[in-house]
Each structure stands twice: as C-alpha cells, then as structure tokens.
Amino acid sequence: AFCKTCASEHLLAQSDSAASGDVYADCLGKTFGFPGDPTTQKEKPKTKYWIKYMREYGRNLTVIRRAEFDRLIRVGLPNCLRGEIWELSSGAMHLRFQNRGVYEKHVNDYLDHPGPCAEEIEKDLNRSLPEYAGYQAPEGIDALRRVLNAYSLRDAELGYCQAMNIVASTMLIFMTEEQVFWTLSVMCDRMVPGYYSPSMYGASLDQSIFQSLVEETMPSLARSFKRHDIQLSIACLPWFLTLFVNSMPLVYALRVLDCFFLEGPKILFQIGLAILKINGGALLEAADDGTFMYILKEYYGTLGDSAYPDSKNARARQVTRFHELLYVAYSDFPRITHARIEELRRSHQLRIVHSVEEFSKRTFLRNVIDASGFTKEQLSLLYDRYYSVLFYSRSHQRDGATGLTKSESDEKILLDVIGFARFMYEISSWM
C-alpha cells in the first residue's frame, strides 16, 4: 500500500514510450501545472534517464544510491519525480513509512482543536507564492493550511514561523500533504535546525558562518562591505530562510532545492558565495545597501541568459548563467563540506546563543510597562536571576524530580514553590 503512494511505482509500470512526464503524485502541480516550460527543462529525456536508473538500481525505499544518482539530481529533476526524490534523498520517505497515519491524526487534532499558531498561520496563507495558480484557489490554500497546522501540533515547541510557509508551499507543488509534512520535519529537525524557531537562532548562526566564509574566501569584498557598512544579512538571510525561493525565479530555486535535499545546507553556503563571487566586480562598487540589493536583483533576472552569448561554439552559447552559478559553487568552493559546516556551527554557537538571549532580554525589558520603582539595572539583574533559576529548575524536572514530562516543563516559564524560594534567596541580601 505504501509503494502505491510513490510516483516511481506508477512510472515504472508504464512502457518506455510512456515516459512523458505524466504526474502520478496527488500534488498541486498535477492540477495547476508546474513552473517553467517542459521542453526547455527537457522533462522527457530526464524522465527516461530516471526510469533507466530505477529499473537497474531500484526505486523509492529500495533504491541504491550510486554516483549517477547524485549526478541526475544535480542536472535537474523531472517534475513528475521531483517530490519523491526530494523525500527520498532527505530521508523523509523512511519517516513517512515508519509513521503511517500520524499526519492524518495531527490534521484531525487540528480540525477538532486548532492550536495556538492557527491564527498566525492564517495570516500568511495568502502570502505564500501568490503568483502560483494553486494558491489563488481554495485547494492550494486548504492544503497549505492543513500541513502547517499539523506540523505546529507535531512540534509544539517550534510551532510556526514566517518563511516556513514559503518552503512548504513550494514543496506542495510536487508532493502530497503527507510527504511535505515529513520532509518539513526532517528539514527543521536535522538539516536547518533553529531556522524557524521564534528567535531564528539557527538562521542567525548560519549567517554568522556565512559572514566568516566571505571574509575568508573574498577578503577584498568583505572589507568593502565593512567600509560602506553594507549588511550582508539584508540579502543573505532570506536566501537561507526561504532556500532561495523568494530570491531567484522559481524554476532556478527548484534546482537549488534539488541539491539542498541531496547534499544538505552546505549547498546554501556554496550558492551564496558563488553569487557574491560572480558579481564581485559590481559589488565592490556598491556604496550602500540599496545598490547591493539592486545588483543582486538584476543578476537573478539574467539567470536564464547565456553565460557566453558571443561564443562561436554553439554548445557554449547554451550554457546559462544559472549553469555558471552551479559550476562556480561546486568548483570554487569545494572545501565547504558538511563536516566543515558542522564544525563552524559548533565554534560559532555560544556567541550566537548569547546574542540571541541578550536580544530577548532587551526586548523584554523595553516592553515592561510598570517597573514598580526598579531601575533598569535592577530589572536586568532580576531577569538574569529569574531565568537562571528557571533553567536549573527545568534541568531538575527533566532528571525526574517531578512528575512533569519534558514537553510540559519546557512550556512553562513559571517557577514552582522550590524555584521561587531559590529565586528569593538569589536576590535577597537578608536571606
């Protein structure tokens, strides 16, 4: 029964002559179409290559991943298999296989009792790829609503964060709701942890790493940015949060997603560095954030143009600027590996967590309406002592000293009697 939900099973059941890119998954693309021109994107040849590969090396849960598997993904996936290969290469397919019925349960729970994120999700539904026909119709909006609310119930601590809707709405074009649910889970838990948390500490962490990589690989450009006070995060944070979907034309962002689900977040760094390197000459002349953004926007609009329009070689003229981007990303930044990114995340983590905590503290203290006579310094001290005691109280509860479960205790920001006594001891000179 599970295999029947996989497009590859239906595709392989047809004859070779049927490799026309027919869509078998119950996705929005089946009803509303896919981005781009099938002929330009060579849908039929790509589909035939995948049929040949799967007949020889297996499909869905039984596939053997050889070097050719990676190569076929990097040249761009056919729309009829894109959702399944995303799910397969990310590992989400195995989660879906092991947890059949879980998505339906969360959807039913949401329909019975909408969670605390339901109102916030509702505000963002019509902002999710509004240019795509599927999200101008109730079918697309309803599917996105179910997926986001179900996920917010599955991970109540994370809940929902803006930009999650952009990624989920893109995946729904190629995947079923259940596939999107589990792929989103893998993304948030393993691939880009902390990106969609309330503090977005994961995205802030990777921005710090990206900044350090720019300084390491393009020092002249980094110095120019610093001299003109150009903030990299203005352009680069959306790259990471929306996986380039909100930056590039969608047909090219999908190619980045193909590589992302195969290779993990390292490709986001490689593509980002490649964009800056290709546009390095123009960016060195940028004197403010506005010019910086304009240069990148102009570049995104030329990704489909020939990289070598004046070449006498016909094949060279067919190489687009997007092909050039991928080539530079892989050939000029091979040292950006998964192991390197993990190492950098560990080395940058403490500083970022501290800065996020400091930001949360400043925001909280600014919003205090009645200080009850306390000075700013005293309020700051009370804040530090309170959350210090709360942290150790939670650790004690997780060690089994109380009957609270981890999820129950993590949701609380209140001190129990013992914790309150400890707090008073910390702030009172007479105790």
The pLDDT tens digits for 192-208 are 988 998 778 888 889 99
The label of the residue with tokens 């919003």 reads: 367
Is residue 22 within 8 A of residue 80, CB to CB? The reply is yes
Q: Is 382 exposed, middle or buried (0-12, 13-18, 19+ CB in 10 A)?
A: middle
Secondary structure class of 135 (helix, strand, coil) = helix
Q: Which of 81, 336, 133, 330 is nearest to 250 (CA)?
A: 133
Q: Which tens digits make up the pLDDT trace of 55-77?
A: 999 999 999 999 999 999 999 99
The 8-class DSSP code of residue 174 comes to: T
Give tens-digit pLDDT for 363-389. Answer: 777 778 787 888 888 888 887 777 777
Measured CA to CA, the distance from residue 110 to residue 152 in angstroms comes to: 9
Name the pTM for this structure. 0.82
Does 147 have pLDDT greater than 80?
yes
Two structure tokens written together for 318: 């067919």
């920001």: which residue's tokens?
A: 413
Token digits of residue 336: 């950006």
Average pLDDT of the chain?
87
- As a whole-number percent, the residues of the chain with pLDDT over 70 amount to 90
Q: For 3-32, what is each residue's pLDDT tens digit?
A: 888 999 888 887 554 455 566 678 999 999
What is the arithmetic mean of pLDDT over 401-425?
A: 60
pLDDT tens string 109-137? 999 999 889 999 999 999 999 999 999 99
Identify the band that residue 409 occupies on the pLDDT scale cut at 50, 70 and 90: very low
Centroid of chain to Cα 102: 22
The residue type of 3 is: C
